[in-house]
Structure 1
Amino acid sequence: MTEVDEPTFSAMTERHRRELHVHCYRMLGSFEDAEDTVQETFLRAWRRRETFEGRSTFRAWLYRIATNACLDLLAKRRPEPATGGEVLWLQPYPDRLLDQVPADDADEPETLAVARETIELAYLVALQHLAPRPRAVLILRDVVGWPAKEVADLLGDSVNSVNSALQRARAGMREHLPAERQDWTTAGADDPETLELVRRYTDACVATDIDAITALLSDDVRFSMPPVPGLHVGRDAVVSTWVEAGFQGMPRMRVLTTSANRQPAIAAYLWQDESAAYLPLAMDVLHVEDGKVAEIVTFDHEQFARFGLPERLEEAS
């Protein structure tokens, strides 16, 4: 491909940007690191364009480069996988950007289910507990759908090694996900019952009504606030954490609903007298099971911009 000019090559790569970004996000767990890695992927692809000989698709060639770029970054920044059920570098992924990923079989329910299940935060957290190479094997085999031979060629391993790594990775995922898929998947952020639960949760948050919120939580609810360390498990433990943090004494709030990682999310704004406006506070991404909030992952207000959320909310008239 040495004859192609840079604008043409750029156009060829750009059409794959979003799906490569999602692939890198699964590998890395960080939206920002995924952005950096996609840029590195495109740079490497341009510099090595003569190595594309057409034996595989251009898309597969880019996936090879992106996967290796992720492995290089993981070796440099995170030599050890996550531990303890929490991922301090975890960041949410806006659904409005996930919608940009082309769907080859958008009409197939199974395809849609797999896409949702492999982008939920619970799945991302479990992935980050795997060592980098088994993580890459599992994503390429179980999510992207590559044959073992192609994964082996990418990693410079034998097919037997890839199959062994896949078995270890699947076992590792089972340690960090409930045993049955239906126990951890959701009906989706736009499910009517889920929307009603989110509405009640939102109203309770705005009212800082800790009793109302408590009634919406499952017995074994999990709560975390990456990058702040600490995974709180169980309704009493989670509520105690909020009470100690002074939730009930917070000033006026307003909340906007959004969605991240195919899960419902709420963006909270706190009234600030000096600004005479509601300013971004935090975002809760919710996991709903059996009509209860089963997990809450809270992210700081720096995430708001990529969700297209406003920088401030004025006083309602």
Structure 2
Amino acid sequence: MGGKLLCDSTTVAETFQTSSPTVPWRDPKSAPAALDAIEAVDLVDQTTTTAWDDVHGLEEQQRRHLQRLHAKGILWKHPADDSSSSVSVVFRLSHGGEVSADGNCLFTASQKAMAGSGTAPGFDARELRRRTVRRFLEDFRSVGAEEREAIEEAIKHMYAPDLKNGWGIHVVQEIKLLAKKSDRLALDSAIDELLQLGVQREMAAESIYKERCIPVNDDPSWAKYMSISGSSDDEYDIITLQYTEEGLLSVDENREGHAAAFGDDIAIECLATEFKREIYVVGVVLELITMSP
């Protein structure tokens, strides 16, 4: 089972206006006996955590909200259990360390969290990425046609959107393409040929990449995309085409091949399923928390 907890500053502020920051959450639907059974646990070893006061890069408002979340805790109840007698758990939000703000952040944060809890001490971030992709492919093959179609629609929405729609929500939309590292010289040559014909650089690059690269729009291409860690060992490089409603905005050719695929909702779900854990992403500072029910 996997899930996410998204907390923006506004929501957190409204929540704490009427709640004491020192009183743990209580489920109003639970019976008194169940309330007494609520157990408070920490997410990580307190001997290795850092107080929110000492975390760099936070705005003061963010720091206050995180301190209150730490003091109050987060009530967790199994989503499939509607019983009034079920036992809930209050988790404490702690800072377990910093990770680089790159495409590998989901996996490096997960590796730190699981290594600290002893769940996966021998795994590095790239191995967690590989396990996530493998879990996705196994689960995708096991679901019915309707669910497979829904998953592929979600992939298209994220990485191959219909540029005729969505402009009421987005100012910029991106299309992700996969270029084989071994094809980069041939792609450059094809772009140069168009340049010699007088085509502008970005228009030439857009044309060649869309014609010759793999769009991320189904399960095999998602697996290829999510396998990319920005390493020289990757088979593919990520090409990003950015559009506004008026047309092409920019082409990120990722010449050095350092761009990594950010863990998306599908990856979070697969990672959680693979290790039988709950994963919550706190949107205040994009910190990752893992929970073991």
Question: Relative contact order (C-alpha < 8 Å, sep 6+): which is higher?
Answer: 2
Q: TM-score, normalised by structure 1?
A: 0.26
Larger Rg: 2
Structure with a larger share of its residues in helix: 1
